[in-house]
Structures are given as C-alpha cells and as structure tokens.
Amino acid sequence: MGYRLGRRSFLTGMLGVSSLPLLGSLPASAQDKKLRVFGYGGGADFKGLFDAFEKASGVKVSYEGVPFADLQNTIVQRFRTGNSGIDVFLVDPTYIPTFSKLRILADLTSAFGEKSKGTLFPSDVQGATYNGRMMSMPMWESSQLLFFNKGLLAKAGVEPPGVSPDARLTWEKLIELAKKVQAAGAETGFGFEQVDRYYQLQVLTESLGGGPGVKGDDLLTVDVANDAWLQAGKWYGSLFADGVASRAPTGQEMPDLFKAGRIAFLVGGPWLIADFNKVDGLDYAAAPHPYFAGGKAVTPSESFHLGVAADTPNADQALEFLNYAGLDKDGAVVASGGSNLSANIEANAEVLSRIPQQNPNLKGVDILMSYELANTAIRRPRSLGYLQLEELVTRAWSDIRNGSDAALTFPQLQRELERSFKRIER
C-alpha cells in the first residue's frame, strides 16, 4: 500500500498519547438513523454487506470513501478535527498500534473478546489485539497463489505445477520454467500482482530467514540490511535485469496482462479468481506460493478489519454491524463479497468450497489455501514504525526493480529508517 509521506510527522508526533477509550464509555444516546462507514473507493465491494445488514437489522448504512492510497492518512486527519463524522471504518491491522495510541479506535474487548474465540482464526484475533485489548474486528483474510497460463506452458512443453503443498516450487525452479516458457513465445515469464509492495515481498526475506525488517520487543529496531535481505534484493533485481519480469507494468496492469495471455506465471491473491473466470478462453490454474531453496515456505496473509470510531454517538449500531460482518457466519460470508477470504472460520470454509465449483481447473485450491492459512501464513509486523517501514521498503524494492544495487540500496534504507524511527515516541 503506497501511502504518501507528507503526514508522517503528524503521526509520529502524536504517538506519546497512550490512553485507550473503552467502548462502554461512549455515549449511547443520540442514535442516528444511518450508520456511517468510512473506507476506500465508492463502496461497491461492500454493497452486498450493507444491503444484507439493513435487511437483518433495519439499520441503513451510508458510505464515504477516498482513494485507496489516501485511506490511512485521511482517517487520521478526520479524527484530528475532534468530530470525525465516522461510526465504523476500515482498518489495516498493521496500523492498530498507531491508531490506538492516537485514541482513534474504541476498545472492543468487553464486546467481542470472548465471543471471537473459536469463531475467528486465532491469528486474526491476535492481529486485532494491542496491549492485551481487542481493538478491531477481523473481517477478511488473504493468501497468495501461483497462477499460471496452461496454454503457454503446454506450448513450451512445461509440465504444469501441482496444487498440493508437496508440489511447491522453489523460486529458483519457477524462474527456470518461466524463462523456458518465455523462450517459447510468452511475452513475460513471471510477475508479481502487487509490484514492489511490502505485503507481497515480505515473504522473500522471511523465506531466507531475514525477518520482516524490524526486530526487538517493540519492533522498533531496524534490520533491513542483513545477508538474507541482500540476497532477496539481488534475486528480485535479477528478475527484471534478465527480462523474465517486466519493469513497466504496475498495479492492476499485472492481472490484466495475465487475463490477456501475456504472462506465464503470476503470484497474486485469490480475489483475482472471480475476475479471471470471466475471461473467455483463459485456460489457467493455480499452484502453491513458491519459496527459496533451503529456506522455508511462507505466504502473505491478513486483510482489512473493521474498527469503531472512538467518537461515535452510535456505538450500539456500530457493534451490531461488526458482530454481523465478523462473528455471524452468514454475515461474514456476505462480507467476503465473493472474492475475499474470511477471518470467520466457518464462513471461510464456505467461501473456499465455492472456488472449485466456479472453475474445474481450480480443484484442490480450497484445500491448498486452508493449508496455507494454517501452516505458512505470516503477518506484517505490528510496529509503531510500520508506516515508515512500508513506505520506505516499498520505495527500496522499486529502486531495485529499476536497476539499483541491493547491496547499496538496503544499507541506505537501514540508515533512513533508523533516522525516521528516532522520531517515534515509545
């Protein structure tokens, strides 16, 4: 997620504030007729959820969104005024420490702390917890798959990878196959859906044992220049220097190129499946996310949570909405929107079971993703410095993609992050 750096000083300057508002202390009177939800875009991803919630509860939902890249900073600015005009908002769980310090989030522990046990994935509950308090409601989950174009592989005489975790390719073998398919006529051998993004590339350093870039009890000790980071950076740069991956496409262009039959292998999220299935003639399948030879298999995970605004006058309605979207199985299925995994265990099982029904080429993908969530999923670090970490690491990966030497880029990144972290109040 590429957030702008302009308001970092505001964020870091306020992190000395530590008290957390308890949900029970919020005013329960002055209930508005509409629940005000804040997020990204125009709300199309959530219309089904809002309609279902209104039908189940009688509560109408109004939605306000901003461009995705502006979401986190806009949330902070809205609360800075003292009257956010928000009841519920989308929360990237890596920002829970920051939002808690800024007193933006209401404490949900008394409402959902016990109810969430056994209903949500334990790792998601852990991700929603800060200083022993549950601060958000996990809504979505995520994983990553290795998509491949069956026609391009067949043309090159490359046997398609299997869907079982035991058939997981190493990065080294995958790139070897990608080059072979490219030599047989594919425009591009390999690509990442989320070009340069921390969420997508954290697994490279983690697979090699290099960690997420921060360490220590408070995750505020920078560690982005160790041998594993340098090795991962060198490998990433070689993809583009060798031409097996293209420097040009970014963002949504990658899935579009895959749909057009121009990329042999694409690492991306399961949310792409519904869109891929709409493309006539796209003969594709999916395999496990790769790992480095001699390293461990790890996969990106987690996704958006829902938070209750600390200054909402509509606490009861907000709680009802979070309960429906997160803990109610039927509501959580609707909340997935048909293309996202769910943090609700039962709802996620139902969402996954529908995937092979949509495309016979995807038989076994539901079992694969269940395995990944239970065994290989990793989460981004819950650090008060995550805003800086994400932005500067993403910029460093971009520089390497465009030809910078990882051996120079990551030590410079180390120094930049250390300077930035010094401004954070512990």
Coil, strand or helix: which one is 74?
A: helix
What percent of the chain lies above the pLDDT cut of 90? 87
State how far the Cα of 67 lies from the Cα of 39, in Å rounded to an integer.
9
Q: Residue 187: left if φ>0, alpha if ψ -120 to 50, beta else—which one?
A: alpha
Bridge pairing between strands 129-130 and 133-134? antiparallel
Please report the DSSP string for 374-389 in residue order.
HHTEE-----TTHHHH
pLDDT tens digit sequence for 90-126: 999 999 999 999 999 999 999 999 999 999 999 999 9
pLDDT in tens, 176-206: 999 999 999 999 999 999 999 999 999 999 9
pLDDT at position 11 is: 46
Mean pLDDT, residues 323-346 taken together: 95
- Give the per-residue pLDDT at 22: 46
Report which listed range, 19-33, 222-236, 376-390, is most confident: 222-236
Rounded-to-integer distance, Cα 193 and Cα 147, Å: 10
Q: What confidence category does residue 349 fall into, taking pLDDT thresholds of 50, 70 and 90?
A: very high
Instruction: State the average pLDDT over residues 299-316.
Output: 96
- Residue 82: what pLDDT? 81
Whole-number pLDDT of residue 339: 82
Long-range contacts of 214-221 (CB under 8 A, 24+ apart): 214/381, 214/383, 214/385, 214/389, 218/383, 218/384, 218/426, 219/381, 219/382, 219/383, 219/384, 219/385, 220/383, 220/384, 220/385, 220/421, 220/424, 220/426
Does residue 166 carry a pLDDT above 90?
yes
- When pLDDT is averaged across residues 164-181 and rounded to a whole number, the result is 98
Mean pLDDT across the chain: 91
Q: What is the DSSP letter of 168?
A: P
Q: What is the tens place of the pLDDT at every residue in 40-70?
A: 999 999 999 999 999 999 999 999 999 998 9
CA-based nearest residue to 96, from 382, 303, 381, 306: 382
Neighbouring C-beta atoms of residue 19, cutoff 10 Å: 8
| Sequence letter at residue 271 | W
| Cα separation, 224 vs 391, whole angstroms | 13
238 Cβ partners below 8 Å, 6+ apart?
Answer: none
Residues 271 and 402: their CA atoms lie apart, in Å, by 28
pLDDT in tens, 128-143: 999 999 999 999 999 9
* CA neighbor of 144 nearest in space, from 303, 331, 319, 313: 303
Strand partners, 305: 91, 138
More confident residue, 6 or 235: 235
Cβ density class 164-181: b for 16+ within 10 Å, e for less: ebeebbbbeebbebbbbb
Report the alpha-carbon distance of residue 227 to residue 79 in Å, rounded.
41
According to the model, what pLDDT value does residue 33 have? 67
Q: What local confidence, expressed as pLDDT, does residue 5 receive?
A: 29
* pLDDT score, position 59: 96
pLDDT of res. 386: 94
pLDDT of 7 > 80? The answer is no
Q: Which residue has the higher pLDDT, 32 or 100?
A: 100
- The pLDDT value given to residue 12: 41
Check residues 26 and 426 and name the one with the higher pLDDT.
Answer: 426
Q: How many CB atoms lie within 10 A of CB 4?
A: 11
